[in-house]
């Protein structure tokens, strides 16, 4: 290895390290979504409801839907609620956009917006698709598809055919993710640069 490659290699190592730190910081507060909310009653308000009170077909809600369960609040143009064994097993929100907010276990608020939000209660996953934006005090995450496993805290976004992922990570002692816009970066002919200070 020549000495000329050494600074490039160090920059790549720092970039890889910052990427792992960014993923861990953005994902970890999501893992602390208010767990007690899942054991609360679900309150539903909609302009129209079509469905049965059994597990045979989903209940379709339309005409401006709001759903509250503990600190969780969702708004959508349309929602489908499926049940299994008399318990809610899945809720799919569609809107332009659909909105979801929830207080986390640490007391901070998480806000999410997407064209579709698919919450599978049984396997504890939420799939956000279409113009996704998730904001919380420690940072933001946006892209075309984000999968959040509430049981493990695993967040997966972007990737093959799902577009780019954009993240903003706030320092631990900083204010909210909306506090200050990102500084513009220098053009580098389309190549990625490491985070400043990394």
Which of 131-140, 150-159, 171-180, 184-193 is least confident?
184-193
Mean local confidence (pLDDT), 96-110? 88
Residue 61 has pLDDT above 90, yes or no: yes
Q: Which residue has the tokens 């946006």?
A: 142
111-131 pLDDT, tens digit each: 999 999 999 988 989 999 999
Q: How many CB atoms lie within 10 A of CB 143?
A: 21
Mean local confidence (pLDDT), 14-40? 47
73-91 pLDDT, tens digit each: 999 999 999 999 888 899 9
Residues 6 or more apart in contact with residue 133 via CB below 8 angstroms = 112, 113, 114, 140, 141, 142
For residues 108 and 17, the model is more confident at 108
Of the pLDDT bands very low, low, confident and very high (cuts 50, 70, 90), residue 12 is very low
| The predicted structure's pLDDT at residue 183 | 43
Residue 5 has pLDDT above 70, yes or no: no
pTM: 0.69
Residue 29 has pLDDT above 50, yes or no: no
Domain regions of the chain by residue span: 5-169
Q: How far is CA 72 from CA 75, 156, 168, in A?
A: 10, 21, 23
- State whether CATH 3.40.50.300 applies to domain 5-169: no
Which of 13-17, 99-103, 182-186 is least confident?
13-17
Residue 53 has pLDDT above 50, yes or no: yes
Of the pLDDT bands very low, low, confident and very high (cuts 50, 70, 90), residue 60 is very high
Q: For residues 143 and 148, what is the distance between their CA atoms, to the nearest angstrom?
A: 13
Percent of the chain residues topping a pLDDT of 90? 36
């Amino acid at each position: 290895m020549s000495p000329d490659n050494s600074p490039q290699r160090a920059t790549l190592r720092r970039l890889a390290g910052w990427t792992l730190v960014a993923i861990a910081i953005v994902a970890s507060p999501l893992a602390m979504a208010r767990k007690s909310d899942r054991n609360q009653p679900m309150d539903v308000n909609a302009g129209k409801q079509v469905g049965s009170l059994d597990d045979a077909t989903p209940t379709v809600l339309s005409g401006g839907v709001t759903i509250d369960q503990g600190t969780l609040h969702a708004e959508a143009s349309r929602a489908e609620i499926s049940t299994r064994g008399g318990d809610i097993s899945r809720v799919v929100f569609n809107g332009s956009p659909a909105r979801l907010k929830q207080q986390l276990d640490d007391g901070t608020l998480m806000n999410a917006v997407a064209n579709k939000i698919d919450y599978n209660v049984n396997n504890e996953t939420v799939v956000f698709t279409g113009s996704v934006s998730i904001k919380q005090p420690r940072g933001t995450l946006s892209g075309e598809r984000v999968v959040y496993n509430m049981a493990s805290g695993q967040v997966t976004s972007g990737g093959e055919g799902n577009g780019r992922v954009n993240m903003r990570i706030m320092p631990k002692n900083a204010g909210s993710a909306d506090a200050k816009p990102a500084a513009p970066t220098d053009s580098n002919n389309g190549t990625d640069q490491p985070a400043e200070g990394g």
